[in-house]
Amino acid sequence: MMTRQEKALWAAVIILAAGVLFMGSLIVVRGLKPAGVAHEPEEEHGGRKAVASFNGQIITEDEWVEELKRTHGHDMLLQMLNQKAVAAEAKALQIRVTPEEIVERLKADAAGYESEEAYFQSMFAQLGLSPADVRAEAAYQLTLEKIAIANIHIRDEDVDRYLEQHQEEFEPKKQYELAWIKLKSRKAANEALDRLEQGEDFGELAEELSLDEYTRLQGGKLGWIEEDDPFVPAELLRTAKELQAGDIAGPIQLESDGYAVMQVIDIKETEKYSSAAIRDGIRKQLALNEAVPLTQLEAQLRDKYGATILAETAPGLEAK
């Protein structure tokens, strides 16, 4: 099973694939018209109003819609058909996703972020997805998973065997809220520690000194990290296990390159799930392992319900 951090990253990948229309991608704008016609009647622009102007030229609504159709039309049509096919199959199988299941999925997807609100903010900043969009995508994925495993039976013995072999996955784990300053040399790390001892703010010093571009502008914050997170340098986690909330440590030599000064902002323990919840999770994961891949299932459902893309979309793209 994946760690919570891996689940969060995987959820972002799923949302990215489904939400391609919302991404900030390069759009080549064609057919700009002189600004001198910007105040002519709307029918002069194909019956559509101007939606933008740049350097004396306008873009009409028709041009805007045509460009969106050209660049993202196929993917959006395919997703619309997937939604309809999955909804039809869920109705036929009397499958329903409860609000509680959506809450639990979002809780798992937000693991590794400072809060669920921070997760939503990240999804909006990266993908343009509102909280409502993210919830809708979670509901869709849960429905698709239920359809995939509807006719797959996992024996109790299989659940018992998995639980016995992977018991450590279900033990409560420590989580550390960490911040760091990545530096080139031990000397630079010691100089940073001296400045911190003199009362300088850790976040401000990280913004000034850290070589890690991803976290530097966030005051060096790495967020909440599980004690065995594979995406964080092991040296940081080994050091964090010896510290208390509020401690600052360094220099920490990194295996990759350079040194680090680290702050443990806070420490907490992950939630301990009930035996029933753990077994349900194992049963579902084992069933998904036996099921057809979800993208393949979407294609099968489109075929089952006769879904077809009739309009021309981007050149060379066919419904899959």
Helices 4-18 and 131-148 cross at an angle (nearest 10°) of 100
Report which of residues 3 and 304 the model is more confident about.
Answer: 304
pLDDT digits (tens, 9 = 90+) for 252-303: 999 888 999 999 999 988 777 788 888 999 999 999 999 999 999 999 999 9
Q: What is the Rg, in whole angstroms, of the alpha carbon atoms belonging to the chain?
A: 25
User: Distances from the Cα of 169 to the Cαs of 64, 166, 320, in angstroms?
Assistant: 50, 6, 37
- Phi/psi of residue 249, nearest 5 degrees: -135, 155
Beta strands across the sheet bearing 174-183: 221-226, 174-183, 259-269, 248-253
Average pLDDT score, the chain: 81
**pLDDT at position 313:** 55
pTM: 0.61
**pLDDT at position 128:** 86
Mean pLDDT of 85-109: 93
Mean pLDDT of 93-102: 94
Phi-psi region of 136 (alpha: psi -120 to 50; beta: other; left: phi over 0): alpha
**pLDDT at position 320:** 43
48: helix, strand or coil: coil
Provide long-range contacts, Cβ within 8 A and 24+ apart, for 211-214: 211/182, 211/183, 211/184, 211/258, 212/180, 212/182
Mean pLDDT of 77-98: 94
How do strand 174-183 and strand 33-34 relate by DSSP bridges?
A: unpaired
Mean pLDDT of 37-59: 64
Is the pLDDT at 63 greater than 60? The verdict is yes
For residues 128 and 23, the answer to whether their CB atoms sit within 8 Å is yes
Is the pLDDT at 130 greater than 80? The verdict is yes
Q: Give ranges for CATH 3.10.50.40 in the chain.
A: 174-269
Residue 287 structure tokens:
């069933």
Task: Identify the weakest region by mean pLDDT among 18-22, 42-46, 200-204.
Answer: 18-22
Q: Which of 178, 171, 173, 172 is nearest to 243 (CA)?
A: 178
Q: What's the CATH code, domain 174-269?
A: 3.10.50.40
Residue 70 corresponds to which amino acid?
R
pLDDT digits (tens, 9 = 90+) for 141-192: 999 999 999 999 999 999 999 999 988 888 788 889 999 999 999 999 999 9
**pLDDT at position 271:** 74
**pLDDT at position 73:** 79
Report which of residues 113 and 276 the model is more confident about.
Answer: 276
Cα 205 from chain centre: 29
pLDDT digits (tens, 9 = 90+) for 3-33: 434 444 444 444 444 443 333 333 233 333 4
**pLDDT at position 3:** 40
* pLDDT band for position 60 (cuts 50, 70, 90): confident
**pLDDT at position 225:** 86
93: helix, strand or coil: coil
Query: Is the preceding omega at residue 251 within 30 degrees of 0, hence cis?
Result: yes
**pLDDT at position 230:** 84
- Can you list the positions of beta strands (E) in the chain? 33-34, 50-54, 57-60, 174-183, 221-226, 248-253, 259-269
Q: Give ranges for CATH 1.10.4030 in the chain.
A: 4-152+291-304
**pLDDT at position 24:** 35
Mean pLDDT of 102-119: 83
* CATH class for the domain made up of 4-152+291-304: mainly alpha
